[in-house]
Structure 1
Amino acid sequence: MHKAIRKHHTPVRRCVICRASLPKSELKRYVCTQTESGDTIPVFDKEQVMPGRGYYICNSPECEKRFAKFRGWRK
């Protein structure tokens, strides 16, 4: 691929709540981790580098509120 094309590429991800496609840098990423009791919970990944399946949500207060009830990460 030509370097000029790569230089302007911006990764795009989709909010799991409202399904809006936005640049990755504008979204918050959560990763599922296991607790000591064996339960799986989503944890905020500030640096966006943790291993595992990532779930992205936009900065909308409605999406943040609905993410608390989101169960898609249990799959």
Structure 2
Amino acid sequence: MADTIRKAHAPTRMCVICRSKHAKGELLRYVCPSAGNNDTALVFDEKQVLPGRGYYICSNPECAQRLARFKVRRK
């Protein structure tokens, strides 16, 4: 066991459109707008640090097109 090289943990996330799994850093993250905002469009989170429910999509252009039609559902 002392001979084994330990790999660093890389978090994985799933694309909400095509359901493929990727490393978190390879995906684009979108979040729901703030509660006071009536806009229903998702907000792109370039640095992946905004608070709120995150939605991840892969770099496939078809997934980006389908996400553009995605509606935010609020409770």
Question: TM-score, normalized by length of structure 2?
Answer: 0.79
1:37: Cα distance to partner?
A: 5.9
CA contact (8 A) 1:14 1:22 kept: yes
Question: TM-score, normalized by length of structure 1?
Answer: 0.79
**Structure 1 outlier segments of 4+, above 6 Å:** none
**Structure with greater helix share of residues:** 1
Structure 1 gaps of 5+ residues are none
- Percentage of identical aligned residues: 54
Aligned residues: 70
Give the Cα–Cα distance (whole angstroms) in 2 for the partners of residues 69 and 51 of structure 1: 22
**Aligned AA for 2:39?**
D
**Structure with greater strand share of residues:** 1
After superposition, the CA RMSD in angstroms is 2.1
